[in-house]
């Protein structure tokens, strides 16, 4: 059915056993967003708000769906779903303040329009990238499933966003895990200027759900009674029998994508046909005809809403604009974390790097009773590096979850778990594959605390690094992609003792942590490690060697290359700093060492340009210039992708060049 056929089908209301009170509430809840939007269009023309995405003509969906849910059930709306926010009864001045970038909004002026969430109202707003909403809903639904609380989760998407990979991953994960989530797709005919016919070729979006083995229904999105009754019935059914459902709501976008872009490209005839199907006007006529809504009570209703809008706008307009305060901004990037020191016990056992990670993970699973681990092949198979071997027996499959090959969706699901108060660790099979989950890490996890003070309690384990002859897609060390993104913490241990304690801290930390584990160290580096659970602090480097001539700064496998070089050259007197964590970075240890030695060399496994060595070098230049006896040196891999053949990989890596560079610096 195309947009024209959908438009010509009549709206037939059947109130079934709905009371007049409910019918009037449905009407009032649709009227409110309509009147707010009409007011916003005026304010936009007056230059008093900056942007508006109109949902006029689509109100029945947001309102009917929200009314079908309990208030403590999470709902994840998009940019045309004002009705979700108003039906959840968010005070209007807070919405208006949000759109004006004022402090009473939900993001302290840090994000615009509907890009916010609120735990108080159980609403999780979108990020601009649209699709990630769906995976986040999976995570919330997973939390509900694990808590066995019989709650449903509802998430919205437009027809355009169903072309995104996130949509397909989220549906697949929900289907495989039987998550109690309802995907509400508003098929309004267009994604910006692109008609549905250029977006997908299946007849209905509902067919996509069926493709994932999911129950799917088509609903007339302009018929409020149909939306409300059908969704109520399905929500109840999902609560009782947890499973995902896809709902396609046929509707139409009556205005431009956003007001400034207009809608000249939409055929006039379509707009005329759909205007006749206006959800509010039709429902009003029905209620009048049924003598449920009198003219008098309608005027009264309208006046009350208009007064509410007017009064709340006045509050928002009167509120002062935000005064920028550097300290407040910088302090709101990470959630406060009070590090709890758990000291190591005296009993030691020699273990490998890989065992240290496994042991730490196991002990954290014991300590945090609801901690969930997710990753490809991590359950019965134990993961490709066997780090989670035996975990299913100990903790069960609910907490040790094999995932489909859906990196984005799983990171988004981890975000959803965090929204529901559950910690998670995701094992990236190889750190190289993080590119397939890059968007939610960079745009969701990293920014969510700053945007609306919602933390992302997620650890992503990143088996990384070269020296194993595995070529361009299984050998990268890609920490620099993340150290430059505010909001993420980056940990990169070089020894079993550090790996065990730092992973425990990463899991305790309520912020998103990228935990790099160098594969070449997994089975080659052994150390005596305390047998019990313990923690180590972030932002504290370790001084592995003490000397006077030069400061060597490194992390990960490269620390071992530096150690080898010093063991070979026992006459060199050097401070060797193992950074251990890159974000936060222990600047003080670096600076005090360089002030003592007067020379600094940074050894990094990654290729040179844009790596963390460059930043450390710049910081030393700025902070220790007067103490330097030579330019700071950076030693890193060459500027090519990392090759497969062992002799090419050897040439690529800086290991063999380090000794010569170190001697050059010492002789400067």
Ligand X SMILES: Cc1ncc(C[n+]2csc(CCOP(=O)(O)OP(=O)(O)O)c2C)c(N)n1
Interface ranges with ligand X (CB under 6 A): 80, 128-130, 158-161, 188, 190-192, 253, 257
Task: Give burial (CB, 10 Å; 0-12/13-18/19+) of 494.
Answer: buried
Parallel/antiparallel/unpaired status of strands 600-607 and 633-637: parallel
How far is it, in rounded angstroms, from Cα 177 to Cα 155?
A: 17
Nearer to ligand X (CB atom), residue 80 or residue 474: 80
Give the whole-angstrom CA distance, residue 42 versus residue 64. 26
Closer to ligand X by Cβ: residue 133 or 593: 133
Residue 128 or 241 with smaller CB distance to ligand X: 128
Q: List helix spans (H) across 332-464.
A: 353-367, 391-395, 407-419, 438-439, 446-452
Instruction: Classify 72 as helix, strand or coil.
Output: coil
Q: How far is the CB of 278 from ligand X (least distance, A)?
A: 17
C-alpha to C-alpha distance for 575 and 635, rounded to whole angstroms: 16
User: Nearest distance from residue 92's CB to ligand X, in Å?
Assistant: 23
Q: Quote the least distance from Cβ 128 to ligand X, whole Å.
A: 4
Using CB atoms, what's the residue nearest to ligand X? 158
Kindly give the residue spans of alpha helices, DSSP state H, lying in 319-390: 326-331, 353-367
Half-sphere exposure of residue 407: CA atoms within 13 angstroms, side-chain side:
18
Residue with Cβ nearer ligand X (188 or 454): 188
Q: CB of residue 205 vs ligand X: minimum separation in angstroms? A: 10
Minimum CB separation from ligand X for residue 163, in Å?
Answer: 8
Q: Pull the structure tokens for residue 103.
A: 């402090």
Q: How many helices (H) and strands (E) does the chain have?
A: 26, 21
H or E segment at 246? strand 245-250
Q: What is the smallest separation between the CB atom of 459 and ligand X, expressed in angstroms?
A: 26
For residue 550, the surrounding DSSP H or E stretch is strand 550-554
205 or 356: whose CB is closer to ligand X? 205
Q: Which is nearer to ligand X, 184 or 612 (CB)?
A: 184
Helix, strand or coil for residue 547?
A: coil
CB of 156 to ligand X, least distance (A): 9
Mark whether 257 is an active-site residue.
no
Return the half-sphere exposure (C-beta side, CA atoms, 13 A cut-off) of residue 315: 16
Between 199 and 476, CB nearer to ligand X = 199
Question: How much helix, strand and coil, in percent to the nearest 5, is found in the chain?
Answer: 45, 15, 40
Phi, psi of 434 (to 5 degrees): -65, -20
Which candidate in 115, 168, 474, 518 is catalytic?
474
Determine phi and psi for 331, rounding to 5 degrees.
Answer: -80, -10
Q: Which residues pair with 15 in a beta bridge?
A: none
Q: Which residues are catalytic?
A: 474
């Amino acid at each position: 059915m195309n947009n024209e056929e959908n438009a010509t089908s009549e709206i037939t209301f059947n109130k079934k056993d709905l009371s007049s009170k409910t019918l009037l509430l449905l009407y009032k809840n649709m009227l409110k967003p309509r009147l707010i939007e009409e007011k916003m269009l005026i304010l936009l023309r007056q230059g008093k708000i900056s942007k508006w995405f109109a949902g006029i003509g689509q109100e029945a969906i947001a309102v009917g769906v929200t009314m079908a849910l309990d208030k403590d059930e999470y709902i994840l709306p998009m940019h045309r779903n004002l009705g979700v926010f108003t039906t959840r009864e968010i005070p209007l001045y807070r919405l208006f303040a949000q759109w004006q970038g004022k402090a009473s909004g939900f993001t302290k002026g840090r994000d615009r329009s509907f890009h916010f969430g609120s735990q108080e109202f159980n609403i999780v707003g979108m990020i601009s990238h649209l699709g990630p909403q769906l995976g986040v809903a999976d995570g919330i639904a997973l939390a509900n499933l694990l808590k066995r609380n019989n709650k449903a989760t509802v998430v919205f998407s437009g027809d355009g966003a169903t072309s995104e990979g996130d949509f397909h991953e989220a549906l697949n994960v929900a289907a495989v895990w039987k998550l109690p989530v309802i995907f509400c797709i508003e098929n309004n005919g267009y994604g910006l200027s692109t008609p549905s016919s250029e977006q997908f070729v299946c007849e209905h979006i509902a067919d996509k759900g069926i493709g994932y083995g999911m129950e799917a229904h088509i609903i007339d999105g302009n018929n409020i009674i149909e939306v409300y009754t059908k969704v109520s019935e399905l929500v109840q059914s999902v609560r009782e029998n947890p499973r995902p459902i896809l709902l396609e709501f046929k509707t139409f976008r009556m205005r431009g994508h956003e007001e400034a872009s207009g809608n000249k490209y939409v055929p006039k005839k379509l707009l005329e046909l759909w205007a006749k199907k206006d959800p509010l006007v039709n429902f009003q006529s029905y209620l009048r005809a049924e003598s449920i809504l009198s003219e008098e009570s309608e005027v009264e209703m309208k006046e009350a809403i208009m007064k509410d809008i007017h009064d709340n706008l006045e509050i928002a307009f009167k509120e002062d604009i935000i005064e920028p305060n550097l300290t407040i901004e910088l302090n709101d990037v990470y959630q406060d974390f009070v590090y709890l020191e758990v000291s190591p016990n005296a009993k030691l056992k020699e273990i490998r790097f890989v065992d240290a990670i496994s042991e730490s993970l196991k002990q954290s699973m014991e300590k945090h009773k609801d901690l969930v681990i997710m990753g490809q092949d991590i359950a019965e198979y134990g993961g490709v590096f066997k780090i989670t071997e035996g975990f299913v027996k100990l903790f069960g499959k609910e907490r040790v979850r094999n995932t489909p090959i859906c990196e984005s969706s799983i990171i988004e699901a981890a975000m959803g778990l965090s929204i529901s108060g559950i910690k998670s660790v995701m094992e990236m099979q190889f750190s190289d594959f993080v590119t397939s989950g890059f968007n939610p890490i960079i745009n969701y996890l990293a920014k969510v605390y700053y945007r609306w003070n919602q933390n992302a309690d997620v650890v992503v384990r990143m088996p990384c690094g070269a020296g194993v002859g595995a070529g361009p897609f299984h050998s990268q060390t890609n920490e620099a992609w993340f150290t430059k993104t505010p909001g993420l913490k980056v940990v990169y241990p070089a020894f079993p003792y550090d790996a065990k304690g730092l992973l425990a801290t990463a899991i305790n930390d309520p912020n998103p942590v990228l935990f790099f584990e160098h594969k070449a160290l997994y089975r080659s580096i052994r150390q005596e490690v305390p047998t019990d659970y313990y923690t180590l602090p972030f932002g504290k480097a370790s001084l592995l060697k003490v000397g006077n001539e030069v400061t060597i700064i490194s992390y990960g496998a490269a620390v071992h290359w530096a150690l080898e070089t010093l063991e070979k050259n026992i006459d060199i007197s050097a401070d060797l700093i193992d950074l251990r964590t890159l974000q936060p970075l222990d600047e003080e240890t670096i600076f005090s060492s360089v002030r003592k030695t007067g020379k600094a060399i940074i050894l990094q496994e990654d290729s040179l340009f844009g790596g963390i060595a460059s930043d450390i070098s710049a910081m030393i230049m700025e902070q220790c210039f007067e103490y330097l006896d030579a330019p700071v040196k950076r030693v890193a891999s060459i500027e090519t992708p990392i090759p497969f053949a062992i002799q090419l990989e050897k040439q690529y890596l800086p290991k063999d060049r380090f000794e010569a560079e170190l001697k050059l610096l010492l002789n400067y």
